Amino acid sequence: MFDPTIYENLKVVLEGAVYDLDAAGVALVTNRVDRVDLATMSRLYSIQFREKEQAAGQTEAEIQLSAQMQDLAAEILEQNEKYAGCGLEVVFQTNVRNIEQDCPKIETLLLDIWQHRPTIKQTLSFTYGENVGSYKNSISVQFGRKINEEQIEDMDTLIDHVFHSIQELNQIHMK
């Protein structure tokens, strides 16, 4: 028998917290990925969800948990602890109509919710040939460090921040 890795422990807690929101009827899980890449010996878990009462096409969040070969090897072989851990990123998908107004509002809003700690990056896109009435905005919240089991208790706060961000982004979307 083997001990679960940091990645596996964090994945179980993260997945449970999001499905608790789904079971409570406030969120709707729309997709889940649990990938093992045998070419790079890496793992990726992502879960996507949105507010249950909002229509599809409104704001959706994706939480991505990843572990690279170096992370897993450092932990399993009990070597160099600085490599043991997981990457964590949150990505929001929403639409914006007025780039000059909406994007600064979104940045300020998310910096306030996340207490100016993570890096916020917005990437806009549109489909060529279609009427550009709105742009797809992919908003990445990057923490710039690895997490491990010391942050397990922070998962509930993370999920609260993500859900609060979805709600607030939906409010911008409605205006």
Using one digit for the tens of pLDDT, what is the confidence trace for 109-138?
A: 999 999 988 999 999 998 888 877 889 999
Whether pLDDT at 1 is above 60: no
pLDDT at position 55 is 73
Task: Give me the residue spans of the domains in the chain.
Answer: 6-174
pLDDT digits (tens, 9 = 90+) for 9-62: 999 999 999 999 999 999 999 999 999 999 999 999 999 999 998 876 689 999
Which residues are paired to 148 by β-bridges?
A: none
Whether pLDDT at 72 is above 90: no
Q: Can you give the pTM of this predicted structure?
A: 0.92
**What token pair was written down for 56?**
């599809």
| 174 — pLDDT class (breaks 50, 70, 90) | low
pLDDT at position 141 is 97
pLDDT at position 173 is 67
- Is the distance from CB of 124 to CB of 98 less than 8 angstroms? no
pLDDT digits (tens, 9 = 90+) for 80-108: 776 789 999 999 999 999 999 999 999 99
Centre a 10 Å sphere on the Cβ of residue 78 and count the other Cβ atoms it contains.
8
**What token pair was written down for 78?**
């009990």
pLDDT at position 58 is 87
Parallel, antiparallel or unpaired: strands 42-51 and 87-96: unpaired
Q: What gap in Å lies between CA 82 and CA 74, rounded to an integer?
A: 8
